[in-house]
């Protein structure tokens, strides 16, 4: 019998296919927890690398670095309230000023960073001039906001999945990808938004699935979660 801890999040997601993604009301998602499941794995992997017990190219190293589907209680310690985050505040303010985006705090903050000699950034993008910032807002952020407001969320427009996790008591918590997209969906009060479940708390798994990996039960439980968060 295969140990449930040996299943990676990617393995479970591939097995479930489209059933790994549930459509929910973004207004009901309260907490963000980031990439919770890899913290301990990365720490252990790096420690073993330092001891020369594994190498970055070894299969053993891949075991320690991959994301486990069933997550221990210790990795659910940190929870940020999305509506209280600076990132959400910037998006909410931008949405309210979308027709005059230059009045938004987000635009002003990036412009001030550039004027002060700092680097204005968005994720991994860096902006070297005021023209680049303006182009970014006019060709990306404004169209994104308008499209979401008029048409809702279109998952065909991006290959990146918006990840989430399930806590011990069954709360869906936002993960590491798609924070801006979820913030837009919340600020625009959309009714439907897709989240891909990328890991679950060990207690939730034992209470709802059992001691073995049962994909049929997982699909059933995901449908129940989707109905609760509809």
Same domain, 33 and 147: no
Same domain, 73 and 168: yes
Q: Which residues contact 73 (CB under 8 A, 6 or more apart)?
A: 168, 201, 202, 203
Round to whole Å and give the CA distance between 211 and 218.
12
Same domain, 174 and 212: yes
Number of domains the chain is built from:
2
Same domain, 176 and 203: yes
Taking only the tens place, the pLDDT of each residue in 7-45 is: 888 899 999 999 999 999 999 999 998 766 445 555 555
Has residue 63 got a pLDDT over 60?
A: no
The pLDDT value recorded for residue 5 is 77
Same domain, 137 and 33: no
**Residue range(s) defining the domain that contains residue 189:** 4-37+65-83+154-228
Local confidence band at 48 (pLDDT 50, 70, 90 cut-offs): low
The pLDDT value recorded for residue 189 is 95
**Which sign, positive or negative, has the C-alpha torsion 92, 93, 98, 99?**
positive
Round to whole Å and give the CA distance between 188 and 192.
11
The pLDDT value recorded for residue 75 is 78
Residue at 55 is within a domain: no
Round to whole Å and give the CA distance between 97 and 206.
46
The pLDDT value recorded for residue 112 is 95
Has residue 139 got a pLDDT over 50?
A: yes
Extract long-range pairs of 184-187: CB within 8 Å, 24+ residues apart. Answer: 184/91, 184/95, 184/144, 184/145, 184/148, 185/26, 185/148, 185/153, 186/26, 186/27, 186/29, 186/82, 186/83, 186/88, 186/92, 187/88, 187/91, 187/92, 187/95
Round to whole Å and give the CA distance between 92 and 110.
16
Mean of all residue pLDDT scores within the chain: 86
The pLDDT value recorded for residue 58 is 46
Most confident of 33-42, 49-58, 121-130: 121-130
The pLDDT value recorded for residue 37 is 47
Same domain, 160 and 79: yes
Round to whole Å and give the CA distance between 225 and 127.
40
Taking only the tens place, the pLDDT of each residue in 148-192 is: 999 998 877 777 788 999 999 999 999 878 888 999 999 999 999
Same domain, 160 and 127: no
């Amino acid at each position: 019998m295969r140990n449930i801890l040996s299943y990676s999040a990617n393995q479970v997601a591939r097995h479930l296919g489209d059933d790994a993604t549930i459509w929910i009301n973004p207004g009901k998602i309260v907490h963000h927890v980031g990439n919770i499941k890899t913290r301990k794995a990365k720490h252990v992997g790096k420690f073993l690398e330092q001891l020369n017990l594994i190498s970055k190219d070894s299969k053993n190293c891949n075991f320690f670095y991959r994301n486990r589907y069933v997550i221990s209680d210790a990795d659910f310690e940190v929870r940020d309230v999305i509506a209280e985050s600076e990132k959400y505040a910037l998006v909410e303010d931008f949405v309210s000023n979308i027709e005059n985006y230059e009045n938004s705090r987000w635009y002003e903050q990036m412009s001030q960073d550039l004027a002060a000699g700092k680097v204005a950034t968005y994720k991994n993008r860096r902006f070297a001039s005021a023209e680049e910032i303006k182009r970014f807002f006019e060709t990306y952020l404004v169209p994104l906001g308008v499209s979401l407001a008029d048409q809702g969320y279109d998952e065909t427009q991006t290959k990146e999945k918006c990840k989430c996790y399930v806590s011990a008591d069954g709360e869906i918590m936002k993960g590491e990808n798609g924070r801006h997209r979820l913030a837009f969906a919340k600020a625009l009060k959309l009714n439907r938004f897709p989240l891909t479940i990328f890991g679950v708390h060990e207690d939730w798994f034992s209470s709802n699935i059992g001691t073995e990996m049962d994909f049929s039960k997982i699909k059933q439980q995901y449908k129940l979660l989707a109905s609760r968060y509809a």
